[in-house]
Amino acid sequence: MLHCHSLDITGRSAHVIGRVSMDTSIIDLSSAADLKPSLGDLVEVCGPSQSLDELAKAIGSIPNEVLTTLGSRSVRSYVGDHVLSVAGSLHRPGDRRDY
């Protein structure tokens, strides 16, 4: 995933910087100085603010490829055969967690 797309964090859009490394993305919060994210806040990859189709188009892919490349640590919500949302959580670089 390249920097040409954004993620939703606590209801605000934030751009992804650079490429995904392993299954980690860096989010640019400089345009949202008033945003005070906390560890554990959900980051929406796709959902109400950005559909799976929109995300796939932004990164030059197709929806099925996006879903299969998201790590197993991402929380997925489905309604029938449709993806409702995919989200991860904020953590400090180097934090180790059991997922």
Q: Which residues contact 80 (CB under 8 A, 6 or more apart)?
A: none
67 inside domain: yes
| Half-sphere CA count of 77, side-chain side, radius 13 A | 11
pLDDT of the chain, 99 residues: tens digit per residue: 444 577 788 778 888 887 666 667 777 878 777 777 777 777 787 778 888 888 888 888 888 888 787 766 666 666 666 666 666 655 555 555 544
95 inside domain: no
For the chain, how many structural domains are there in total? 1
Write down the pLDDT at residue 96. 53
96 inside domain: no
Question: What's the domain range around 76?
Answer: 6-29+38-89
Coil, strand or helix: which one is 22? coil
Write down the pLDDT at residue 3. 42
Write down the pLDDT at residue 2. 42
Q: Which residues contact 16 (CB under 8 A, 6 or more apart)?
A: 1, 2, 3, 5, 6, 7, 25, 26, 27, 28
